[in-house]
Amino acid sequence: MSESIVVELRLIEQTFRLNTTEDKREELERAAELLNQKFHDMRRNAPRVEHNKLVIMVALQMAQEVFSLNKSLQEYAHCEHLLQTILEDVEQIVE
């Protein structure tokens, strides 16, 4: 297991010191970049919205994306299971 390290990140116009591990550092930094990009995109589209409301809107948008991806993965897993069943049926018929 990797040793814990502290990473300083600028997130949504604030600096945070977060604990992570060296093997998770790059992933955390990419997540921070994505969060900042979504915040700045939303800020461009809604320049007069209060900061806190904008943060909540970004969090909601990202949560919706996670739910959508999870749904897609579940559908993929279901299709994979169906294909496996079909393959097993075909193998039984061929034998």
Mean pLDDT across the chain? 92
Distance in Å from the first CA to the final CA of the chain: 47
Q: What is the mean pLDDT of residues 23-48?
A: 95
Instruction: Kindly state the percentage of the chain with pLDDT values over 90.
Output: 68
pLDDT band, very low/low/confident/very high, at 26 (cuts 50, 70, 90)? very high
Looking at this protein, which amino acid is placed at residue 77? Answer: A
Phi, psi (rounded to 5 degrees) for 49: -75, 140
Q: Are 4 and 21 in contact (CB under 8 A)?
A: yes
Give pTM, 2 decimals: 0.73
Taking 80 as the threshold, does the pLDDT of residue 1 lie above it? no
* Structural domain for 53, as ranges: 4-94
Taking 80 as the threshold, does the pLDDT of residue 40 lie above it? yes
Domain count, the chain: 1
